[in-house]
Structure 1
Amino acid sequence: MILFDFDGTLVDSNGVWEEVDNTFLARRGLTPTQEYSETVGHSIFPLAAQFTIDYYHLDTTPQAIMDVWTQLGREAYLSQVPAKEGALAFLDQCRSQGQPMALLTACVPEFCRAALRRLHMEGYFSHLIFVQELGMLKKDPATYGHVLKELGATPEESTLYEDSPGACAAAKEAGLTVVGVYDPFYARYEAELKGLCHRYIHSFTELLQP
C-alpha cells in the first residue's frame, strides 16, 4: 500500500496556509512566530484553532476562527494550488504497476476534494482518509497502524510519501517505509529529513522510470 500526504507533497499548498494564517493574525494586529507557524502548519483545523486562541489569548471560539480560515483558503484550492512537479506522472506510474494507493491528509476535506478534481488526481486513490474525521494526528504513530488496518495492509508492506518531519518520524516509528518529499515550508529541516527517511526526494521526477 502506498500512502500519500496531500499538502506539500502532491500539491504546492503549504504557502497558502502560511498566507491564510498571516492574514488572519494581521487583521488582529498580531505577528506569527516560528513556534506558532510550525505548530499550526500541519495540525488539524480544530486543534490549530484552539492553539491559536490559547497562544494569542484571543476572545473568540475555534469555530469562528475556522470559519475565517475556510473563507480565506477555499479560493486557493478551487483555482490556484498547483500539483508538485512530476506528481501526476508518478501517480500514473504507480497505477500502471498495479500498486494500491490511498491519500492520508490533514487537509480540509472540502478543499482537498476540490483540488483533486481540478488537478485530475481523484481517480488514483482507493481511499481518501482525512485525519480530522478520524480524530487522530499524523504525528502519532498509532494513526498509521489504525489506517493500515482499515486498508487491509501492514506497515512492512506500506510506503508513505510525506513532507512533514513529524509525520515522517511517526510513520517510521510505526514501521512504514518513508519517502521524504522536499517542500519549502520545511526547508530548514532538510538535513533532519534526509537522516530520518529511507529516501528523500526534491521532486517526483526523480522516481520516474524511463
Structure 2
Amino acid sequence: MVRTVIFDMDGVIVDTEPVHRYAYFQHFEELGIGVSDAEYATFTGRSTKNVYQHLKDKHSLAHEVGELVLAKREFFNLAFDEKPDLELLDGVRRLIEDLHQHNLELILASSASQSTIDRVMRRFVLGPYFSHLVSGEDFPRSKPDPAIFAHAASLAQSSQAECVVIEDSANGVTAAKAAGLYCIGYNSIHSPLQDLSHADLVVTHFQELTAARIAALETGALEAS
C-alpha cells in the first residue's frame, strides 16, 4: 500500500518550462553560446547548477557556475512574476487535494532552486499540502542521479516500499528507479521528447489518478540499482 507520494514540480505540478526556456535562452544569447533544441531537451530534470557546469566545461566559460546560475535566475524571476497566465497543470490540484484528504503524505523533490520552489508554493498556496520541499540545488549531481529521490524517501513517514514518485522526464524516471522507487510517468504535452517507457505506470492526464488508485498500487520491495 502506498502512503507517500513524491512529486516532481516542473512539468508535473506547474508548467514553468516556457519561463525557464525564455530565461535560459536570454542568458545564452548574453553569453554568446549556441544551444540546440536537442541539447536543451537533455537539460530536462537537471538542476540549473548542473546545466551550467556542463555549459561551462563545454564552452570554456570564464564565469563561475554560481554567477551563471544567479544571472539566469534573474531572467527567470522577472519573467515568472510578469507572466499572468501561469497556472497549475490540468487536474493536479484535484489530485493533490484528493491525496491530502485521504491522508497520503506528499513530498516535493524538484531539480528547481529553493527560491523557485518557494515562488510556486506561494503563488498557488500549495505549501500546506507538502511535508517536505526538497531542492536539487542541495545535491552535487542532478537527475538521473538518484540522490534527490533517495533523500526524499528517507524523509517520508512511510517505508521506501510505500513511496511512489510522479515524474515527467526521462532523467527523473531514471533517478526514481535508481533510487529503488515505484515511478508513475506523466506523459505531458509540456515535456516533449521524453522517453518514459521505463516507468512502472504511464498516464497522460491526472484524471487517470486518484488517491484510491495510487494507494492500492503494488509497488513491491524494490532494490536501488
Alignment of 1:97-136 (within 5 A): 97-136=102-141
Unmatched segments (≥5 aa) in structure 2: 212-225
Asked if residue 50 in structure 1 is aligned to residue 21 in structure 2, the reply is no
**Distance apart, 1:4 and its partner CA:** 0.2
Picking from 10, 13, 16, the partner of 2:13 is: 10
Question: Distance between the aligned counterparts of 1:78 and 1:114, measured in 2?
Answer: 9
- Between stretches 128-137 and 5-14, larger displacement belongs to 128-137
- SS, match of residue 193 in structure 2: helix
- 8 A contact 2:154–2:160 mirrored in 1: no
- 8 A contact 1:46–1:66 mirrored in 2: yes
Asked if residue 156 in structure 1 is aligned to residue 161 in structure 2, the reply is yes
CA RMSD of aligned residues (A): 2.3
Question: Distance between the aligned counterparts of 1:143 and 1:65, measured in 2?
Answer: 22
Q: Which residue of 2 aligns with 1:140?
A: 145
Q: Which residue of 1 aligns with 2:178?
A: 173
Question: Distance between the aligned counterparts of 2:16 and 2:158, measured in 1?
Answer: 29
Question: Distance between the aligned counterparts of 1:169 and 1:79, measured in 2?
Answer: 34
Question: Distance between the aligned counterparts of 1:19 and 1:118, measured in 2?
Answer: 20
Picking from 74, 88, 93, the partner of 2:93 is: 88
**Distance apart, 1:67 and its partner CA:** 2.0
- 8 A contact 1:104–1:130 mirrored in 2: yes
What letter corresponds to residue 102 of structure 2 in structure 1?
Answer: Q
Question: Distance between the aligned counterparts of 2:128 and 2:59, measured in 1?
Answer: 41
Question: Distance between the aligned counterparts of 1:50 and 1:184, measured in 2?
Answer: 28
- Between stretches 90-99 and 125-134, larger displacement belongs to 125-134
- TM-score, structure 1 as length reference: 0.87
Asked if residue 205 in structure 1 is aligned to residue 210 in structure 2, the reply is no
- TM-score, structure 2 as length reference: 0.82
- SS, match of residue 196 in structure 1: coil
Question: Distance between the aligned counterparts of 2:31 and 2:140, measured in 1?
Answer: 29
Count of equivalent residues = 207
What letter corresponds to residue 201 of structure 1 in structure 2?
Answer: V
- 8 A contact 1:105–1:129 mirrored in 2: yes
Unmatched segments (≥5 aa) in structure 1: none
Asked if residue 69 in structure 1 is aligned to residue 72 in structure 2, the reply is yes
Picking from 34, 39, 45, the partner of 1:36 is: 39
- 8 A contact 2:167–2:184 mirrored in 1: yes
Higher helix share: 1
Question: Distance between the aligned counterparts of 2:192 and 2:39, measured in 1?
Answer: 17
Question: Distance between the aligned counterparts of 2:82 and 2:158, measured in 1?
Answer: 35
Question: Distance between the aligned counterparts of 2:92 and 2:136, measured in 1?
Answer: 22
Question: Distance between the aligned counterparts of 1:63 and 1:144, measured in 2?
Answer: 24
Encode CA deviations 1:127-171: one digit per residue, 9 max, x unaligned.
111122244533123443333123243331111011111121221
**Distance apart, 1:34 and its partner CA:** 4.0
What letter corresponds to residue 99 of structure 2 in structure 1?
Answer: C
Question: Distance between the aligned counterparts of 1:79 and 1:102, measured in 2?
Answer: 28
Question: Distance between the aligned counterparts of 1:31 and 1:170, measured in 2?
Answer: 28
**Distance apart, 1:112 and its partner CA:** 1.3
- Between stretches 117-126 and 30-39, larger displacement belongs to 30-39
